[in-house]
Every structure is written in structure tokens, then in C-alpha cells.
């Protein structure tokens, strides 16, 4: 009993009820996310084949003089290709129709009663490459064979090793950006004195070096990817020059320059420590560099071509939320918790809890918009490899939310004990384990996101 006659409440039972209610809210929120797919229109990313004139698999009396192919988004025409029977055929792009190719078949003959076009499309905005075939039956042609040479001489696609390396480099680049932006934001908003902590200084320097290195590496790999070269072609001069003339090439150059500029922001906080972290001028510089890094990191992703402004805002907000969340977790794990200073822990953990709530709202809200644009239907969510990967990411995020709620409950009911015990290691350890587990799941989310960014919805 309290002194005023009110009965004592068991902190553990109160905590259990809080966790139960919040789990219900999380499940309801995830259900709302899934419901968005039921009413959402279908959307595509990458230059996917949509339709043709004549229609695919049509039965024709003779080889048409031309075939019109329509794709889901604008094409980088100079990098596209169309072959018939292993030989390149000419094509053009009609004026005002950046998503259409008109293939000239003058003089082309059918083989074995079949006409097969092997095509390669390249997106103009993100440089993603897709390959496929388009076939017709020619009734008047002699069916001399049951198979055609064209199917064995398909247009080549990117080297799988280059594609895999590009996925890995993009994932590490995401990690570098998240740690650099998120950790600096944590210092600026929550813990200025952290600028003088050795572990945090090492973490920031490592994140900056990782981000810069991955930006340079991605430039070379993207050039080899677009030019259909092996991994050894990352330094090919002509491939790099060709890349620099594209939108994604400009984005990669801008990102690399922003990482160089970010070095001055880092140098200022390393040199002046908390004085720089509290300076309005330094914070303005941080906001400018952070926004530039977030935007150029998300540009080669899946901005919606039909709603470019909404897609750009959602993509940048999504990555900003991820950066605040992951950067804060690693700052807590490697900077705040190892010091075991009770008052410092009480202040920083409570403030980060509010920041994490904002970041999760950004992640879920912007992520729902992006998923709605890219998947577009419950069928595609459940029956495509892209949808399956997205479901895996949602499952990991749900696990993170549950773990985060567990950590918050610990903070609410155990942090006072840690303060009383002067940061006792045994008392703090469970919270450190929880934060470490959440950080591990965050890395898993980044890994899945790297696969999603190079995958095609609807496949």
C-alpha cells in the first residue's frame, strides 16, 4: 500500500499489460499496411515489357515490317538492343514516347515458322537492365525445325557476378549512410558530448570511409553492369564515360562529391567536439550534407515514374527514418551503454526513445507509400519473388518493433534501478543485449532492402 492508501501496482504486471496493448497496435498497423495492397493500383519499376503490336504470340501470315514494343518506363535507347536469330536489327524511339521502341524487320525472315525477338531494355533513370523474348508464329513460313536458333542466341544480360557485387556494395553503402547520418544526428539532437567519446569518433570515421569507398565502388560496378562487362571491367574507361552521360551516373558523381563534403562536417566535429555539435552553423551544414546523401542514395531506387514527387519524398523520408533508427542504435550500443554512467543513460535513452518513435513512423508511413506504388496488389505481394522479399522485410520490421517495445518497457521499469545501482554491469546487460539484437535485425533489414532495390516488382 502507498502511504495515501492506494494499493501498490506490480511493475511487471503493468509492463506486461503495456506490451500486450502495444503488440495489438503493432499488429493492427501491419494489417493496415497489408490492406493497402487490396485497393492499390498496379505499379511497375524497371523497364518491364508491357505490350506489343502485333501482340505477343500472335499468328501472322508473314513477317511484319515493324514491331512496336511498349515498356513500363522511359528507356535509355542507346543501351537497348533487339536481335533476331542472333543478328542485331535496327530500332528507333518515336518522338514523345520515351517508353516505346519501334523495331524495323525489313528483310528479316522467319525460321521454322517462328519469329523470335530477343530484347534488352535499360531504364533511363536507374540503369537497371532487363532481358526477354517476344515471339510470333508465321503461318506461311516452312516449319522445317521444331526449335529456332534465335532462342539459343538471346541478347546477353549483365554478368551475374557484377549484379551480385552491386547488391553487396549498395547494401554496404546504405549502412555507411545510415551510420554516418544517424550517428551525427544523435550527437546533434541528443548527446553533444558524444563527439568527444573515442568509440563514437571511430564509428563516425569508419562510416564515412565506408560510404565514400562504396560510392566509388558502385560507380565502377554500375558502369560494368550497364556495359555488360565482367567484374574486371569496373575501370573500363569507355564504360565509365558512357555511364557519366546517364542520370544514374550523375547521381553517383553527386553522391561521391557529397561524401567528400561530408568529410569537412566530420573533421569539424572531430576537431571541435561538442562545441561544433552545439553550433548552429555546423548543424546547418550537417542537414545539407545529410539531405544530399539521403536523396542521392535513394535516387537510383524505385521512385515512382507516375508520381515522381511523391515517390521522391517517400523514398527520402524512408531512408531518413532508417538512418535515425540505425545510427541511434549503434551510438547507444558502442557509445552510451559501455560508459555505464547512470545520469547520462537516463537522459540519452529517454530522448532516443522519442526519436526512435519518429523514425519508425517515417519508416512505416513512407514504406507503405513505396510498397503501394511498387507492388500495387495483394496478388503480386503473395505470388512474386519481389513480394516475397518484401514480406520478409515486413516480418523483420515487425520483429524489430516487438523487440523495441521490450526495450522501452525495460527502460520504463528498470532504468531507475540501474541509476540506483550506479550503472551496475549486470543490471545494464539485458538492455545492451536487447539493443544489440535490434541492431542485428536492422542490418538484416538493410540486406533485404539491397535485394529489393535491384529486383523488379511483378516478377
Sign of the alpha-carbon dihedral angle for 147, 148, 153, 158: negative
Termini Cα distance of the chain? 63
Q: Which of 370, 163, 126, 162 is nearest to 251 (CA)?
A: 126
Instruction: Spell out the long-range contacts of 57-62 with Cβ–Cβ below 8 A and sequence spacing 24 or more.
Output: 57/135, 57/136, 57/137, 58/136, 58/137, 59/136, 59/137, 59/139, 60/115, 60/136, 60/137, 60/138, 60/139, 61/138, 61/139, 61/140, 62/138, 62/140
Res. 430 pLDDT band, cuts 50 70 90: low
The Cα-based distances of 115 to 105, 112, 142 in angstroms read 10, 8, 12
Instruction: Spell out the long-range contacts of 15-22 with Cβ–Cβ below 8 A and sequence spacing 24 or more.
Output: 15/409, 15/412, 15/413, 18/409, 18/412, 19/405, 19/406, 19/409, 22/405
Res. 433 pLDDT band, cuts 50 70 90: low
49-152 is classed in which CATH architecture?
A: Sandwich (2.60)
pLDDT of res. 41:
38
CA distance 88 to 107: 13
Strand order of the sheet with strand 66-71?
Answer: 49-53, 66-71, 100-104, 91-92
pLDDT (mean) for 151-162: 72
pLDDT of res. 35:
40
CA distance 129 to 48: 9
**Whether the predicted pLDDT of 217 surpasses 90:** yes
Reported as a single tens digit per residue, the pLDDT across 4-29 is 444 444 444 444 444 445 444 544 44
pLDDT of res. 87:
85
**Whether the predicted pLDDT of 307 surpasses 80:** no
pLDDT (mean) for 51-72: 90
Lowest mean pLDDT among 1-10, 85-94, 216-225, 344-353: 1-10
Q: Which of 74, 72, 130 is nearest to 97 (CA)?
A: 74
Axis-axis angle for helices 247-272, 237-244 (nearest 10): 90
**Whether the predicted pLDDT of 275 surpasses 90:** yes
C-alpha cell at 198: 573515442
CA distance 242 to 222: 11
CA distance 148 to 161: 29
pLDDT of res. 15:
43
Percent of the chain with pLDDT over 90: 30
pLDDT of res. 320:
92
The residue whose grid cell reads 567484374 is 231
Burial class (CB in 10 A: 0-12, 13-18, 19+), 444: middle
| DSSP state for residue 311 in the 8-state scheme | H
Assessment of whether the complete model's pTM goes beyond 0.85:
no
Sign of the alpha-carbon dihedral angle for 359, 362, 367, 370: negative
Output the average pLDDT for the chain. 77
Where do the domains of the chain lie? 49-152, 160-453
**Whether the predicted pLDDT of 383 surpasses 60:** yes
81 alpha carbon, distance to own chain's centre: 28
CA distance 407 to 396: 16
Amino acid at each position: 500500500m502507498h502511504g495515501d492508501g492506494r494499493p501498490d501496482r506490480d511493475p511487471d504486471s503493468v509492463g506486461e499489460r503495456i506490451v500486450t496493448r502495444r503488440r495489438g497496435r503493432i499488429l493492427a498497423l501491419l494489417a493496415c499496411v497489408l490492406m493497402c495492397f487490396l485497393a492499390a493500383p498496379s505499379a511497375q519499376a524497371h523497364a518491364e515489357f508491357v505490350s506489343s503490336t502485333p501482340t505477343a504470340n500472335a499468328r501472322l501470315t508473314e513477317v511484319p515490317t515493324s514491331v512496336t514494343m511498349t515498356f513500363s518506363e522511359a528507356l535509355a535507347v542507346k543501351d537497348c538492343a533487339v536481335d533476331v536469330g542472333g543478328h542485331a536489327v535496327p530500332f528507333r524511339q518515336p518522338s514523345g514516347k520515351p517508353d516505346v521502341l519501334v523495331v524495323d524487320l525489313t528483310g528479316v525472315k522467319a525460321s521454322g515458322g517462328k519469329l523470335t525477338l530477343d530484347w534488352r531494355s535499360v531504364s533511363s533513370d536507374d540503369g537497371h537492365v532487363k532481358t526477354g523474348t517476344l515471339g510470333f508464329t508465321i503461318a506461311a513460313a516452312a516449319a522445317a525445325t521444331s526449335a529456332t536458333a534465335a532462342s539459343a542466341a538471346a541478347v546477353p544480360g549483365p554478368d551475374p557476378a557484377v549484379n551480385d557485387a552491386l547488391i553487396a556494395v549498395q547494401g554496404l553503402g546504405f549502412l555507411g549512410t545510415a551510420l554516418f547520418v544517424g550517428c551525427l544526428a544523435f550527437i546533434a539532437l541528443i548527446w553533444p558530448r558524444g563527439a568527444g567519446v573515442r568509440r563514437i569518433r571511430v564509428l563516425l570515421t569508419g562510416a564515412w570511409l565506408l560510404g565514400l569507398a562504396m560510392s566509388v565502388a558502385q560507380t565502377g560496378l554500375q558502369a560494368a553492369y550497364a556495359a555488360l562487362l565482367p567484374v574486371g571491367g569496373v575501370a573500363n574507361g569507355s564504360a565509365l564515360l558512357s555511364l557519366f552521360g546517364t542520370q544514374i551516373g550523375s547521381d553517383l558523381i553527386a553522391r561521391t562529391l557529397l561524401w567528400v563534403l561530408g568529410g569537412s562536417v566530420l573533421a569539424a566535429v572531430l576537431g571541435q567536439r561538442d562545441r561544433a555539435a552545439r553550433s548552429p552553423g555546423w548543424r546547418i551544414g550537417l542537414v545539407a550534407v545529410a539531405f544530399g546523401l539521403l536523396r542521392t542514395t535513394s535516387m537510383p531506387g524505385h521512385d515512382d515514374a507516375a508520381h515522381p514527387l511523391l515517390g521522391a519524398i517517400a523514398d527520402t523520408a524512408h531512408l531518413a527514418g532508417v538512418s535515425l533508427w540505425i545510427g541511434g542504435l549503434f551510438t547507444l550500443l558502442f557509445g552510451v551503454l559501455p560508459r555505464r554512467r547512470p545520469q547520462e543513460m537516463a537522459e540519452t535513452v529517454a530522448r532516443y526513445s522519442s526519436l526512435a518513435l519518429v523514425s519508425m513512423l517515417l519508416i512505416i508511413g513512407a514504406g507503405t507509400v513505396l510498397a503501394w506504388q511498387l507492388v500495387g496488389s495483394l496478388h503480386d505481394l503473395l505470388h512474386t519473388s519481389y513480394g516475397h522479399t518484401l514480406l520478409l522485410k515486413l516480418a523483420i520490421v515487425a520483429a524489430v518493433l516487438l523487440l523495441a517495445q521490450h526495450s522501452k518497457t525495460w527502460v520504463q521499469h528498470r532504468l531507475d534501478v540501474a541509476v540506483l545501482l550506479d550503472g551496475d554491469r549486470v543490471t545494464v546487460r539485458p538492455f545492451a543485449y536487447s539493443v544489440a539484437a535490434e541492431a542485428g535485425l536492422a542490418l538484416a533489414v538493410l540486406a533485404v532492402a539491397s535485394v529489393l532495390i535491384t529486383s523488379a516488382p511483378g516478377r
